[in-house]
Structure 1
């Protein structure tokens, strides 16, 4: 502090006796010195003094000195030392964090750095000044510029991103710093680029096309891949920013053969290796696993996912992941994320799913990896996140794979194989009926995924018999699930069983018949649906019970004598009522955890209490809800029509016309509903194709722009430095031709999509018109019925005999 005081005396001169200038006065005098001094040394000394004061008195320095410091950046470019003092002062003034020197001053706002940043960037030319200073090779100047830009991005990320985006060569200047041989600058640049690329797709594309992936993999390689330090983690975080939610960059990454370069990152250390899994290695591998998942995320287009999955299998990446999966000594969080990654690499790809199914764990005796994973899932001593990951991986293994679904069901059926070997089916049955509620839920949902979109396995699973008590006859798995549903008091177990039974019985009349024959099953569903408990979870149970009851009606083949389709409809209408039924059903989609589960196939929960609804069940519910309601409404209308049909009148011809017209419109309604459903599917297909074409088109346009820039640069060079441009011209012509083709394809798909949407809109309008007409006809029908009754009563009052089956009088009323 004494040194600072002596320095200020040197710059400002000694104060008069008895007077001690305030901080604001001192800053004012220093700023004046910078503005008015003709000697460079004086301005430099004043800037150094402002820097020294800027940590403790940043409000005073920022308020009085910002404009002057900006002038220094513009006018004193020739003196690196003065420029460096000005940059460091501005960085202190706009620092996003609080300095130790400020802790004693409670009047300084916490966001003071952000406020000064807002003032600084009002004039976009200030950012241009800072970017131009990146051209300076001086170590301190370049480092200070990078740190200042990082502070600005921390405080106002969106604003700075938009400003830099329109500055000529702004991003390119930053990318050049990754090649700086001074590691400190390179490392600080990585932090800057991580902030610059976060959440901005346009900047992400520019950075990617500036050879970012090549440079980053070079740094990762030089640092020792996963055994490297925090610089490796920073490189991977930047890659993750470039790829996340950016289909163009994912396409570029895939086409640039960068997936192969990921392979050395997944080296699992042997037990004999001293280093093992250091905390930094754990962070590095975790980041690389996230990158792999970004490439095959279910939110990507099907085309990109499929291509990346095939490459990962062909280059041995899936094999390396499975090696980590089966290795010993792997940290729990890495094992968990590896399981999730393996799941998404195999999801929907039959070849990759078969590969996973054939992986053997190095146990004694050897067991399939799938069985070992399921053993962890139903073991309540395993970490919660690990158990969730195994369920997701197993769901991915079964996804759109009838063979793996059939294989699971087969392990539950009687066979001649060695019964002493533990199977996946036995593990799931054990978990389904265990005392651990999470094992119940995980096992029920896993079995449910073996039945998704696979009617054949639903019927096969009906053959599964369970031995209950010694000496008692075995009962079917469905029978036992139904009994457990009635007996359990655990919310998660009830929900899991209701979801399993709903998936099992939908589109499977034999399963419905088997359920209806279990004592108490229907009564339980009716009582649950009629329950008046007022709680979100109780509402959910009531809605799920109503859903399963409606499935029992809609998919009923009348093979259960006591519960035919008609008798169940009557039971529902009398005991529950249509209005109450639809209200209960709607409670399912209102539940918070339903909406959370419907967004992504993977369980994204932090604690066991949040586990309740499965993604595939949400899809089933969404498809069937309106179908089931419509089925019951039609039955109600049919009953009304039958009652009216028993009566006849002088206007019977008119009534028959009404009924005939209603039947015709009902048929047309069904036809339109089918047409709308087909148009929706066509719309989705066209939209997916259009998105893929747009991504490819965008990718080619970006490359085309880069080539044009290269050609433009080449043309501006002296003739003796210009390289033969024929190859670049050829590439440019090829890209432009591809762009024309893709643009034509995009135009065609856009037209098809517009036609599909117009057709869908017309069909929906016609559907609405017909519904209104049908409602009007039903009202007229009811009016006719009232008039007939009125005529009948008048005839009786006049003493005319009236037949109960006919309201026509036996003689004329003349």
Structure 2
């Protein structure tokens, strides 16, 4: 510290006796020295002193010295030491974190670094100055430039990304840093590129085509793959940024044979297992699993998913991941993520699904890996996240695979094979009737996935019989599920059973008949639908019950005498009412957990209470929500249609025994007169009224057109004025911020600081800003009123235009009808008035 004081005395000269300069005064003199010194050594010393003060006096240095420091970067490029001091000072000014020296200073805002960054990047040339310094090979200059860019990206990432994107060679300069043989710079460059590529597809593509994957895999290999340090994790995070939601880069990665280069990351040899899993290795493998999932994510196109799945199978990646599943000593979070990853690699790919189905676990006795996974799913002692992962993997195993679906159902049917071995069907039945609510939900949903788009297995599952009590007759699985639904008191169990029954009975009349024969089944659904409970979850239960009731009507083959379509329809009308019924059904899609589940096949849940709705059920509900209203039996209920209401703004009336929709435009006035001559007195009076209506609408239409034109001009004028004021306001705020910083920082502790408003310059700025804010508010309000008026005028304009179009159609239809009647009278030998005969048909005009 004494050395620093001595250095400052050397730069600034000795202070006057009895006067100790404040921090603001010291900064001001240092900035002046940088601006006015002719000797490079003096400027360098002053920059070094500013750097030393920039942590404690950040506001003062930023407010007074930012412009000077930018000039140093531009004019003193020949002196690396001075440039380094300037870069470090700017980095301190714009640091996103707070320094220890500032913790006791309440005048320093927490986001002061972001405020200075906003001022710095208003001139994009400043970013170019920093980018140009990346070309300097000097260690300190290059490192300081990288660190400054990291701070800028941390504070204003999107703004910096857009600036760098248009800078020539901007991204290339950063990519070149990965080849720097000085590890410190290379490592900082990785952090810089991670921030630069986040959420910007264009930059991601540029980085990928700058050979990023080759360079990153070289670093990962050098560092020791999954056993490497945090640098491996940084490389993988950058890869993840480049691939996530970027189909172009995924194709590039796939076609560039990079998938097989991931294999060493999943090496699980016995030698490595003995070393254990360090926390860093867990992080590294977790990142690599995320990369694999990014390429086979269900949100990608089917073509990308399929090709990536095939490559992963062919190069042995799926095999390596299955080895991790069966290995001992694997941490729970890695095991969970590996299960999810394996699930997505096999999802929808028959070859990969078959491969997973044939894997045997090294247990005693040996069991299929699928069975071992299901044992974990129904075991309430296993971690919640692991159980969710197993369910997702099993769903992926069944997805679009009739063979695996049939194999599961077959394990539930009577068989002559060895019954001593545990099967997947037995595990699911055990979970279905378990006292553990989560096992109950998981097993029910897993069983439901064996029936999706598979009518054969729906009928096969009806053959499954269960022995409930010793000595009593066995009952069908559907019968038992219906009884469980009526007896259960747990929300999750009820929802799961309703989803299973909905999937089972949809498109399967035999299952509907079996359900209708279960005592109390229909009554339970009706009572649930009629329930008046006002809890969000109760609304969901009521909606699901109403939905299942609709399935009973729609897919009913009338084989159960007491519950034919017609009788169920009448029961619904009398007990529930169509208005109440449709309101209940719509409650399902309003539920928060329904909307969350509908977004992705994998459940995104944080705790057990959020396990409620399954993705595949949401798909079924969306399809049937459209299909069921078109059912004739549903639409005939009490004359009420379930289909979405149509907004009728046209007038419908009877004329000449024909139902005609009223609409036309005023351009056919003559046609109206001709139709009026042919019409009866009553029809003529009606037509005269519509002619008057058309004239009024036409006048109103012209008035609205003129209003709209005027409002558009006014809107453009107000928008321009508002933009000018906002720009001036922003500039004044920046200047005001700097002035406040200077004034507040000029106070000498411990004297109480004067208020900022005591400075006349700031008072002027504050008054001007207040005026501008008031003017901005006034113009914004005026603009809003104008836009509202404009919107209303346009709505009325469109309505009148539509009405007139429809009236034209009305008179055209009427003329055609009158012509038909005339021709019919002539054919019957009737005499037609010559004036009428002389008229040409309206449709020929």
Give the structure-1-normalised TM-score.
0.78
* Distance verdict in 2 for CA 1:67–1:312, change over 3 Å: same
Partner of 1:304: 304
**CA, structure 1 residues 638+121, in 2 after alignment: closer, same or farther (shift >3 Å)?**
closer
CA-CA distance at 1:25 after TM superposition: 0.3
Contact persistence 1:395–1:449 (CA under 8 A): yes
Tell me how far 1:493 sits from its aligned partner.
0.2
The whole-number CA distance in structure 2 between the counterparts of 1:198 and 1:406 is 44
Q: How does 1:177-256 map to 2 (within 5 A)?
A: 177-256=177-256
Once the two structures are superposed, what CA deviation does each residue of 1:473-514 show, in whole Å capped at 9, x if it has no partner?
111100000000000100000000000000000010111111
Query: Contact 2:578–2:637 at 8 Å: present in 1 too?
Result: no
Report what 2:461 is aligned to.
461
Secondary structure, aligned partner of 1:625: helix
Q: Which residue number corresponds to residue 760 of structure 1?
A: none
Cα gap change, 1:103/1:614 in structure 2, threshold over 3 Å: closer, same or farther?
A: same
Distance 1:115 1:560, change over 3 A: same
The answer for the alignment partner of 1:402 in structure 2 is 402
Corresponding residue of 2:367: 367
Report the equivalent of 2:618: 618
SS at match of 1:419: coil
User: What per-residue deviation string (whole Å, max 9, x for no partner) do you get for residues 599-633 of structure 1?
Assistant: 00000000000011000000000111232233244
1:109-128 to structure 2, matched below 5 A, reads 109-128=109-128
Once the two structures are TM-superposed, the CA of residue 535 in structure 1 deviates from its matched residue by 0.8
Supply the distance in 2 between the matched residues of 1:657 and 1:136 (Cα, whole angstroms): 87
Q: Is 1:551 aligned to 2:515, yes or no?
A: no
| 1:87-115 Cα deviation digits (max 9, x unpaired) | 00000000000011111101100000000
Aligned to 2:17: 17
User: After superposition, what is the alpha-carbon deviation per residue over 1:523-554, rounded to whole angstroms, capped at 9, x for unaligned?
Assistant: 00000000000011000000000011111111
Q: Which residue of 1 aligns with 2:530?
A: 530
Pairwise CA distance, 1:268 = 2.1
Corresponding position of 2:766: none
> Deviation string for 1:71-102 (max 9, x for gaps)?
11011111101100000000000000001111
SS of the equivalent of 2:300 reads: coil
Match of 2:636 in 1: 635
User: Counterpart of 1:178 in 2: which secondary structure?
Assistant: helix
Residue by residue, what CA displacement relative to the aligned partner does 1:362-390 show, whole Å, maximum 9, x if unpaired?
00000000000000000110000000000
| Deviation string, structure 1 residues 688-735 (Cα, Å, up to 9, x no partner) | xxxxxxxxxxxxxxxxxxxxxxxxxxxxxxxxxxxxxxxxxxxxxxxx
| Residue of structure 2 equivalent to 1:292 | 292
Contact 1:121 1:127 in 2 (8 A): yes
C-alpha separation in 2, matches of 1:603 and 1:5: 62
Checking the alignment, whether the CA contact within 8 Å between 2:570 and 2:637 is kept in structure 1 is no
Q: Distance in 1 between matches of 2:299 and 2:375?
A: 29
Match of 1:499 in 2: 499
State the partner residue of 1:75. 75
Cα pair 2:513 2:560 within 8 Å, conserved: yes
Counterpart of 2:683 in structure 1 is none
Deviation at 1:557, TM superposition (A): 1.1
1:472 partner SS:
coil
3-state SS, counterpart of residue 275 of structure 2: coil
Instruction: Give the C-alpha shift of residue 572 in structure 1.
Output: 0.5
Assess if the C-alpha contact under 8 Å between 2:93 and 2:116 holds in 1: yes
**Match in the other structure for 2:52:** 52
- Match of residue 601 from structure 1: 601
1:423 paired to 2:423:
yes
Structure 1: stretches of 5+ with no match in the other structure? 641-653, 659-764, 774-814
Name 2:40's counterpart in structure 1.
40
Contact 1:516 1:522 in 2 (8 A): yes
Corresponding residue number in structure 2 for 1:673: none
Taking a change above 3 Å as real, the CA distance of residues 576 and 283 of structure 1, as seen in their structure-2 partners, is same
In the alignment, the residues of structure 1 paired with residue 560 and residue 634 of structure 2 have an alpha-carbon distance, to the nearest angstrom, of 23
Between 270-279 and 132-141, report the one with greater CA deviation: 270-279
Q: 1:286 to 1:100 in 2, by over 3 A?
A: same
- Deviation at residue 562 of structure 1 after TM alignment: 1.7
Aligned-residue offset at 1:18 = 0.8
Per the alignment, residue 382 of structure 2 pairs with 382
Matched, 1:162 2:162: yes
Please give the alpha-carbon distance, in whole angstroms, between the structure 1 residues aligned to 2:629 and 2:656.
27
- Against the structure 1 CA distance between its residues 77 and 277, is the aligned structure 2 distance closer, same or farther, given a 3 Å change threshold? same
CA distance in 2, matches of 1:421, 1:274: 33
Q: In 2, distance between residues paired with 1:584 and 1:375? A: 37
| Long gaps (5+) in structure 2 | 642-654, 660-801, 811-845
Matching of residue 472 in structure 1 with residue 441 in structure 2: no
Change beyond 3 A, Cα 1:319–1:198: same
Figure out how many residues of one structure are paired with residues of the other and give that number: 649
Q: Distance in 1 between matches of 2:504 and 2:201?
A: 43
Map of 2:791 onto structure 1: none
Offset of residue 560 of structure 1: 1.3
Pair 326,639 (structure 1): closer, same or farther in 2 beyond 3 Å: closer
Q: What is the CA–CA distance in structure 1 between the aligned matches of 2:123 and 2:566, rounded to whole Å?
A: 76
Measured at CA, do residues 656 and 261 of structure 1 come closer, stay the same or move farther in structure 2, by a change above 3 Å? Answer: farther
Q: Is the 8 A contact 1:269 1:277 kept in 2?
A: no
SS of 1:562's equivalent in the other structure is helix
Q: Aligned partners of 1:198 and 1:266: how far apart in 2?
A: 26
Q: For residue 561 of structure 2, give the secondary structure of its aligned residue in structure 1.
A: coil
- Separation in structure 2 between the aligned mates of residue 211 and residue 263 of structure 1, nearest angstrom: 20
**Matched-pair contact (CA < 8 Å) for 2:573–2:638:** no
Q: Which region of structure 1 is more displaced relative to structure 2, 513-522 or 626-635?
A: 626-635
> SS of 2:84's equivalent?
helix
Displacement of 1:273: 4.4
Tell me if the contact between 1:326 and 1:361 (Cα under 8 Å) persists in the aligned partners: yes
Given that 1:30 and 1:46 are in contact with CA atoms closer than 8 Å, whether structure 2 keeps it comes out as: yes
Preserved CA contact (<8 Å) 1:270 1:276: no
Residues 269, 276 of structure 1: 8 Å contact kept = no
For residue 132 of structure 1, what is the aligned residue in structure 2? Answer: 132
2: CA distance between counterparts of 1:264 and 1:271? 14
Instruction: Check whether the contact 1:271–1:329 (CA below 8 A) recurs between aligned residues.
Output: no
Corresponding residue for 2:439?
439
Superposition RMSD on alpha carbons, in Å? 1.8
1:518 aligns with 2:505: no
